Homo-oligomer: A and B are copies of this chain.
Amino acid sequence: MAYSQEKLVEEKVFKDPVHRYVHVRDRVIWDLIGTKEFQRLRRIKQLGTTYLTFHGAEHSRFNHSLGVYEIIRRIIDDVFDGRPEWNSEQRLLSLCAALLHDLGHGPFSHSFEKVFDLDHEAFTQKIILGNTEVNRVLTKVSKDFPKMVAEVIAKTSPNKLVISLISSQIDADRMDYLQRDAYFTGVSYGHFDMERILRVMRPKEDQVVIKQSGMHAVEDYIMSRYQMYWQVYFHPVTRSAEVILTKILHRAKHLYQKGYQFKHEPIHFYSVFAENITLYDYLKLDEAVILYYFQMWEEEEDLILRDLCVRFMDRNLFKYVEFDPAKEYKKLSELSTLFAKAGLDPEYYLVVDSSSDLPYDFYRPGEEEERLPIQLLMKNGEVRELSRESQIVDAISGKRRTDHKLYFPADLLKDDSSKKNIKKQIRNLLDL
């Protein structure tokens, strides 16, 4: 039998707290889960530093990847199967793309990518196409199968329908992470009637559409997403941890570039610092490795690196105040001067961080990060963009919300003998 069609003798199930069970019947999927590169996702947290705010959020990207796969499997096997618009040959492609879509994530991705100018999506492509176990499994399906999977994930595939399953404003990725992150953090947001949404999804030529009768479930999903962004993903304490993490990586890179002699050689980081990282090196970077170095750096000579690492490991984070960049740039500059005078390098100890989200948007071609809007399938067969039908969604559509905060180490600004006066000025400016 062709490898692509091969079924396991007995279905395998993973107990999953969000979807109850994840079911695997396809040999290809089973083999992919067993690869070194996929197992590595167990060592990368789904929500980065969020566990320092919501202690339950310790779940990994392995968790989430299985979940996305399971949602796609249900859509295809329980809803799309047998419909004329659905080509069953796309089934395996969709399942593989779902399972592997986050494969290239590095440790604490967000900060890591920002500091070292890396792109996890590029690494997903490299892992699928490079010399890896994942690639060897996919190649067994057919020679050009890795490329097909990679293109779906990169959204360059001609197969628009499959792309929209994996990546749109209501895709399996979002449906899994909202529920999963809600489950592990324990917040009461993030719930919506996914079973209902799955049942009303319909394949169309270029995109998945949603039967009109499911509109309210979709509204609920959009509100869940909005709440999760502001209540969980952009939580100011998480952002504080993110700020410190970013500054640690900055400092280490800076020290390396200055020729600083590390007590403990950061061998895993050399190629990252030097900006010539290979796939092999990249795959060695997981969160255990990062935390190992942070522990070692707690004993480095450089006081800034040391302090920041101690802060991160012991969760002694920065405090924050609201900040309006348009109106308060002068104050920021003043503060910057005062921090320097107080012996606190403002580059590391006075940080503006911004969050911004668009709860839903209709299509605006050419804008960054645009994702396909949600299309409703009306009773008469017509397709209409969601915000034209839903009063609630229309009300929030296209309304970007942005929030800025200023982070700093409040514990170092207390009244003490040295720099007493300067610190008092700082505290006054910060309204502490």
Contacts and interface: CB of A to CB of B under 8 A. Distances in A.
Contact of A395 (B219, B295, B315, B396): B396
Given A187-B193, A289-B295, A396-B391, A58 B54 contact: no
A93 interface: no
A392 B394 CA distance: 11
Given A51-B42, A63-B55, A185 B15 contact: yes
A185 B59 CA distance: 11
Interface in A155-187: 183-187
A43 interface: yes
A382 interface: no
B55 A58 contact: no
Interface stretch (A24-32, A124-132, A224-232, A332-340): A224-232
A361 interface: no
Nearest to A264: B267
Contacts of A230: 216
Interface in A337-370: none
A392 B219 CA distance: 13
Nearest to A55: B63
A192 B223 CA distance: 12
A387 to B, nearest CB: 12
Given A55-B62, A231-B216, A284-B295, A187 B391 contact: no
B392 A396 contact: yes
Interface string A1-35: 00000000000011111101100000000000011
Contacts of A217: 188
Contacts of A399: 391, 395
A291 interface: yes
A394 to B, nearest CB: 8
Nearest to A393: B395
Contact of A21 (B184, B192, B195, B284): B195
Interface string A384-401: 000000011001100101
A269 B286 CA distance: 21
B58 A59 contact: yes
Contact of A186 (B20, B227, B290, B295): B20
A139 interface: no
Contacts of A20: 186, 195
Contacts of A315: 34, 39, 42
Interface string A92-131: 0000000000000000000000000000000000000000
Nearest to A18: B186
A361 to B, nearest CB: 14
A54 B187 CA distance: 22
Interface string A187-212: 11101110110010000000000000
Given A20-B186, A51-B42, A186-B20, A56 B56 contact: no
Counting from the closest, the 5 A-B pairs by CB-CB distance are A17-B186, A395-B395, A288-B291, A292-B292, A188-B193
13 contacts: A13-B199, A16-B56, A21-B195, A39-B314, A42-B51, A42-B315, A55-B66, A188-B192, A220-B227, A287-B288, A292-B292, A395-B395, A395-B396
Given A55-B60, A286-B295, 15 more contacts: A15-B56, A20-B195, A39-B314, A42-B315, A56-B59, A58-B60, A188-B193, A189-B193, A216-B231, A219-B227, A220-B227, A223-B392, A391-B399, A392-B395, A392-B396
